[in-house]
Amino acid sequence: MVPSYLHFWAFSVFCLTKDVLGSVCSETRKVIGAEGSDVTMPVNKEAVKEVIWVFNHRCIAKTWPNQNSDITDSAYNGRVSKEAGFSIVIKNVTKEDEGLYTANVLRGAAEVYEQLCYQLRVYENLSHKDLEIHHLFTDRENCHLNLSCTVNRADVTVTWNSAGRGETNVANITYHGNSPATDSSYTCIAANPASNVSRTIIPRLFCVKGKFVHIEDLYSISSIDTNDRILGPSIKHLHPWDWKCRVVEGKFYCLEFPGDFKSD
């Protein structure tokens, strides 16, 4: 068996050669990951003798059959592992891991390294807090309003979806309360290649007296009576709040009636 220090010496010499650092990939595979996730860069294990991994012109690891991998970039210590075969997994990726990865593969009796290239793109994980829906009346009496969906994140596509209108790839739509789909629910979907979030509303409820809210945004449900009314827990010195609600896709949407409040 070749001593490990000789492996490391050969690895270092290889990484300094112009052929590796200056080479151009004939084909690049796109790899997508969400921040904090693990990504895999696959290599066909057939007749592989060794693989040297280069990231943005820096050697980061070398793998051999039936041996542990050498990790030479401290940023990847404990984060790079070899899967069955010669594919590698990079754990807990961040924006700093984005870039071009090259697998320099030596197979069988070949004397030239085959190059496999991977372009890693890391996207933010979207959350419901990133998505906001706003409404602006154009004709309150007839319940005509504009709906806008905004996301405070980069590289995000916003889509509206409703049973009455289908899918619309725009952030702003117009709603007319006298349309056939008056009580339809509308869902705003924000997505990037790694994650997506959505919120559902019933635009018609904006036109009804009172404040339209998604009950789960306020507190957990304590009880529901037989008259389709929901009773929330007492807050401060108020008696249980009284809400008129409906269910949309398994979620409660309610109208707040300030006149129903009672005090001690």
Fold match between domain 4-123 and domain 124-204: yes
For 38-54, what is each residue's pLDDT tens digit?
A: 999 998 878 888 899 99
pTM above 0.75, yes or no: no
Report strand pairing: 223-224 vs 211-214.
unpaired
For 214-241, what is each residue's pLDDT tens digit?
A: 444 433 333 333 333 333 333 333 333 3
Average pLDDT for residues 49-65, to the nearest whole number?
Answer: 88
Per-residue pLDDT at 199 exceeds 60: yes
Report strand pairing: 28-34 vs 114-123.
parallel
Per-residue pLDDT at 178 exceeds 60: yes
Which pLDDT score is estimated for 227? 37
Q: Which residues pair with 159 in a beta bridge?
A: 189
Give alpha helix (H) positions in the chain: 4-15, 18-21
- Any idea where the domains of the chain sit in the sequence? 4-123, 124-204, 208-264
Distance CA 76, CA 194 (A): 22
What class has domain 124-204? mainly beta
Confidence bin at 36 (pLDDT 50/70/90): very high
CATH 1.10.287.990 correct for 4-123: no
Distance CA 148, CA 135 (A): 6
